[in-house]
C-alpha cells in the first residue's frame, strides 16, 4: 500500500516559488545499499540520506554526492546516461536548499512527479514519501530547515512491482527519476492550499466551487475575484478550513473554437494564488456528447509523454507546445493523454489551444484485482490526478483504465474507481478503454459490463494490424446494448518512417496508411460513434519492441517519427478531420 505522507498543493506556478530545476548530484545504487544494510534493515545513520562527510582522515564514508556525476532535473536517468538505458532500481538525488525564511513563513517542496517511489529527506530527516510515478505531491519541510546550509536528498526507485499501478508489464518505457519540475514554495502560516472554480453541471452561467485553507486558524475570510467579469465574492471558511461559493456570471464559454480563459485570483489577508480558468459544460444525451449543450464529435489522437525530437520523457512547456501543436495541425479538437496523468504543462496548454482532454490513470492490462492495497494505490492516483487538474477546462473525461480483462474482481475494482471519480467530480464524464468481443468475422460487440458504470464507452481495436490485413475492417459492423456514446480509443499500425513498399508489406508507411483508410471507412458507419483517438501521435520508446532495424525499442505506431517526420497516415487522418470539421 502506498505510504504517502505528502499533501496536495494546488497550482504551485501561481504562488511565490523558486525553481529547483537544474543539476542535482546523483548516486546510482542498484543494491539499495544507501537505504538498507546487509541484513535488509533500513539504515539509521549510514544511509545516503545523511549526506555525511568524513570528519577526519580515519573516518570511513563510502559515498560522496559532491564527487558524483550530476543528473538534470527534471529528466529521466535512462536517457541521460547510456549505461542507465535499461536501469531499474534506486538513484539518490541531492541538492542544496535556500535558508529558512523568517517569521511564520512555511516552506513546501513540490514535485511534479517522481517515478515510482520517492523518499524525501531534508538535512537528514525523513520529511515525506510518495508512491506513484505520474502525479504531483508536496512535502512541508519548514521544521527541518536551518538558518543556513540546508540540503535535500531524494531516494527514487522505479522497480516494477506486481502489486503496483501500473504493474509489471507495460508497453511504454519505465523512465525513472525526478521526471518533472521541482519547486520551493513559500506560504504564510495560514494559506490557500486548494480550490475548485467551475461551472455547475448543466448550467452555462452559474459558477460554483470551494476554497480550502490550512493553518493554525482555518476560519478565515477569503475573496475570489474574476476582474474581467467584474466579479468579487467574499466568504468565510468553516472550522475545517473549507468555504463554498456560488454566483451567476455572463461567461464567454470555453470551446475548441474559442478557448476563452479568465484570470482568477483567490486571496486571504496574507496569501494570494492566481490562475487562468475556462468555463464550459460537458454532458451526454443518449449517444451524443454535448459541449456547452451542443453535440460534438471528438476528433482526437492518443499521446504518450515521449519527448519530441529527443529521447526521454516529455516534461517541459516547450515539449507540450510541440506535441499539442502537432495535434492541432492534424485537425484535432481532442487528445487522449495515455496511459497515466501527463505533466501539468500539457493540461494548461490544452486549455490555451482549445484541445479537449481524456485524462487517465495507469490501471493498465492485468492489475492485481483482488489486492485491496493495489486498489487503494489506484484510488490514490485517481484522487491526485483529479485534485491537480479539476480546474482545467480542457479535461472533459476521466478514464479509470485501459484494456483490462473481464472478471468479477476486475469489475469490482474498476467500478470502485468509477464511483470514486464521480464522487470527486460529477461535472465531467467517466470512461475507460475497453476491449471488443467478436461475435462473427463481420460483427464486433462491446459487451463489457463495466460500461454500466461509465458515461462514455471507449474501445481499443486493431483490425488490420493484430487482426488481419488492412482490408480486415471492410464490412465489419459494431453493436452495443448500451445507449451511450463510443470513442474508438485505439486503432493503428506500425510503420518505420521512410520505409516504403506496397500496402501489404508490414512496417511500411503504405501499409499504415492503408489501415487508416480502411478503418475510416468502417468507423464512419458506426451510428453511436462520437469520437476517435487513433494510436498514436508519435513513435515512443517501449522495451517490448526489439525488432532490429525497424523498432529498435520504439513502438512505431506513431503518425510522426521520433525525429518529427510525418508519415503518410498523418495526412490520411488529417484529410478525414478536415472533412469532419466541415460537417
pLDDT in tens, 216-249: 988 899 999 999 999 999 999 999 999 999 999 9
Domain membership flag for residue 5: no
Residue 350: give its domain's CATH number.
Answer: 3.20.20.80
Q: Of 350, 206, 177, 171, give the one whose Cα is nearest residue 281.
A: 206
Tens of pLDDT, residue by residue over 94-149, are 999 999 999 899 999 999 999 999 999 999 999 999 999 999 999 999 999 999 99
Asked whether 285 and 274 are in contact (CB, 8 A), the reply is no
143 and 204 co-located in one domain: no
Asked whether 155 and 289 are in contact (CB, 8 A), the reply is no
Tens of pLDDT, residue by residue over 440-468, are 999 999 999 999 999 999 999 999 999 99
Domain membership flag for residue 7: no
Mean pLDDT for 302-318 is 96
Q: What is the pLDDT of residue 218?
A: 83
User: Predicted confidence band at 574 (pLDDT cuts at 50, 70, 90)?
Assistant: very high
Question: Over pLDDT 70: what percentage of the chain?
Answer: 99
The Cβ of residue 362 has, within 10 Å, a number of other Cβ atoms equal to 24
Domain membership flag for residue 314: yes
294 and 420 co-located in one domain: yes
Asked whether 286 and 280 are in contact (CB, 8 A), the reply is no
Strands in 117-122's sheet, in edge-to-edge order, are 70-73, 22-29, 90-97, 150-157, 117-122, 125-131
Q: What is the pLDDT of residue 3?
A: 53
79 and 22 co-located in one domain: yes
Q: What is the pLDDT of residue 44?
A: 87
Mean pLDDT for 525-552 is 98
151 and 221 co-located in one domain: no
Tens of pLDDT, residue by residue over 73-103, are 999 999 999 999 999 999 999 999 999 999 8
Domain membership flag for residue 3: no
Among 187, 208, 228, the domain-final residue is: 187
Higher pLDDT, residue 451 or 45: 451
Q: What is the pLDDT of residue 2?
A: 45
Q: What is the pLDDT of residue 4?
A: 57
Among 221, 249, 277, the domain-final residue is: 277
Tens of pLDDT, residue by residue over 273-294, are 999 999 999 999 999 999 999 9
93 and 203 co-located in one domain: no
Q: What is the pLDDT of residue 397?
A: 98
Count of domains for the chain: 3
Residue 155: give its domain's CATH number.
Answer: 2.60.120.260
Beta bridge partners of 223: 234, 267
Question: Over pLDDT 90: what percentage of the chain?
Answer: 96
Domain of 251?
191-277
Q: What is the pLDDT of residue 190?
A: 95
User: Predicted confidence band at 435 (pLDDT cuts at 50, 70, 90)?
Assistant: confident
462 and 426 co-located in one domain: yes
If you average pLDDT over every residue of the chain, what do you get? 96
120 and 226 co-located in one domain: no
Residue 1 has pLDDT above 70, yes or no: no
Domain membership flag for residue 1: no
382 and 316 co-located in one domain: yes
143 and 195 co-located in one domain: no
Among 187, 222, 257, the domain-final residue is: 187
Mean pLDDT for 8-33 is 96
204 and 293 co-located in one domain: no
Q: What is the pLDDT of residue 5?
A: 72
Strands 294-295 and 288-291: antiparallel
Q: How far is CA 580 from CA 477, 490, 575, in A?
A: 20, 19, 9
Q: How far is CA 266 from CA 12, 234, 341, in A?
A: 13, 10, 26
Amino acid at each position: 500500500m502506498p505510504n504517502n505522507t505528502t499533501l496536495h498543493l494546488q497550482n504551485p506556478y501561481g504562488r511565490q516559488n523558486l525553481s529547483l530545476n537544474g543539476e542535482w548530484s546523483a548516486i546510482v545504487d542498484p543494491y539499495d545499499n544507501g537505504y538498507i544494510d546487509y541484513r535488509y534493515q533500513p539504515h539509521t545513520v549510514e544511509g545516503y540520506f545523511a549526506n555525511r562527510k568524513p570528519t577526519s582522515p580515519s573516518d570511513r564514508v563510502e559515498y560522496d554526492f559532491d564527487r558524483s556525476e550530476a543528473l538534470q532535473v527534471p529528466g529521466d536517468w535512462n536517457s541521460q546516461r547510456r549505461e542507465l538505458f535499461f536501469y531499474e532500481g534506486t538513484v539518490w538525488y541531492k541538492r542544496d536548499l535556500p535558508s529558512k525564511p523568517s517569521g511564520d513563513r512555511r516552506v513546501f517542496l513540490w514535485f511534479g512527479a517522481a517515478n515510482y517511489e520517492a523518499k524525501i529527506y531534508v538535512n537528514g530527516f525523513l520529511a515525506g514519501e510518495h508512491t506513484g510515478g505520474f502525479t504531483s505531491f508536496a512535502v512541508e519541510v519548514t521544521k527541518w530547515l536551518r538558518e543556513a546550509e540546508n540540503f535535500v536528498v531524494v531516494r527514487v526507485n522505479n522497480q516494477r512491482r506486481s502489486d503496483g499501478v501500473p504493474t509489471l508489464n507495460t508497453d511504454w518505457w519505465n523512465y525513472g527519476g525526478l521526471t518533472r519540475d521541482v519547486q520551493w514554495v513559500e506560504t504564510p502560516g495560514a494559506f490557500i492550499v486548494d480550490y475548485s472554480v467551475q461551472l455547475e453541471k448543466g448550467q452555462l452561467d452559474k459558477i460554483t466551487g470551494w476554497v480550502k485553507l490550512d493553518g493554525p486558524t482555518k476560519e478565515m475570510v477569503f475573496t475570489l475575484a474574476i476582474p474581467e467579469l467584474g466579479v468579487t465574492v467574499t466568504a468565510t471558511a468553516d472550522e475545517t478550513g473549507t468555504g463554498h461559493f456560488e454566483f451567476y456570471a455572463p461567461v464567454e464559454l470555453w470551446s475548441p473554437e474559442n478557448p476563452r480563459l479568465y484570470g482568477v485570483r483567490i486571496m486571504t489577508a496574507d496569501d494570494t494564488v492566481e490562475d487562468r480558468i475556462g468555463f464550459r459544460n460537458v454532458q451526454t444525451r443518449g449517444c451524443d456528447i454535448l459541449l456547452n449543450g451542443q453535440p460534438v464529435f471528438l476528433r482526437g489522437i492518443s499521446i504518450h509523454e515521449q519527448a519530441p525530437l529527443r529521447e526521454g520523457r516529455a516534461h517541459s512547456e516547450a515539449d507540450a507546445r510541440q506535441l499539442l501543436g502537432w495535434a492541432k495541425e492534424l485537425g484535432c479538437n481532442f487528445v487522449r493523454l495515455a496511459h497515466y496523468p501527463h505533466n501539468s504543462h500539457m493540461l494548461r496548454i490544452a486549455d490555451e489551444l482549445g484541445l479537449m482532454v481524456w485524462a487517465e490513470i495507469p490501471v493498465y492490462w492485468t492489475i492485481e484485482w483482488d489486492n485491496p492495497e493495489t486498489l487503494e494505490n489506484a484510488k490514490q492516483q485517481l484522487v491526485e490526478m483529479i485534485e491537480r487538474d479539476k480546474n482545467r477546462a480542457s479535461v472533459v473525461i476521466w478514464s479509470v483504465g485501459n484494456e483490462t480483462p473481464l472478471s468479477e474482481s476486475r469489475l469490482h475494482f474498476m467500478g470502485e474507481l468509477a464511483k470514486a471519480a464521480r464522487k470527486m467530480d460529477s461535472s465531467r464524464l467517466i470512461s475507460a478503454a475497453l476491449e471488443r468481443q467478436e461475435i462473427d468475422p463481420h460483427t464486433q460487440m462491446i459487451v463489457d459490463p463495466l460500461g454500466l458504470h461509465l458515461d462514455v464507452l471507449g474501445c481499443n481495436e486493431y483490425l488490420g494490424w493484430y487482426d488481419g490485413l488492412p482490408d480486415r475492417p471492410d464490412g465489419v459492423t459494431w453493436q452495443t446494448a448500451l445507449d451511450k456514446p463510443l470513442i474508438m480509443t485505439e486503432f493503428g499500425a506500425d510503420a518505420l518512417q521512410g520505409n516504403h513498399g506496397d500496402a501489404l508489406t508490414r512496417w511500411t508507411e503504405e501499409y499504415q496508411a492503408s489501415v487508416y483508410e480502411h478503418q475510416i471507412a468502417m468507423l464512419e458507419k458506426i451510428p453511436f460513434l462520437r469520437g476517435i483517438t487513433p494510436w498514436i501521435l508519435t513513435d515512443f520508446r517501449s522495451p517490448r519492441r526489439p525488432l532490429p532495424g525497424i523498432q529498435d525499442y520504439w513502438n512505431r505506431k506513431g503518425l510522426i517519427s521520433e525525429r518529427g517526420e510525418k508519415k503518410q497516415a498523418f495526412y490520411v487522418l488529417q484529410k478525414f478531420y478536415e472533412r469532419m470539421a466541415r460537417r
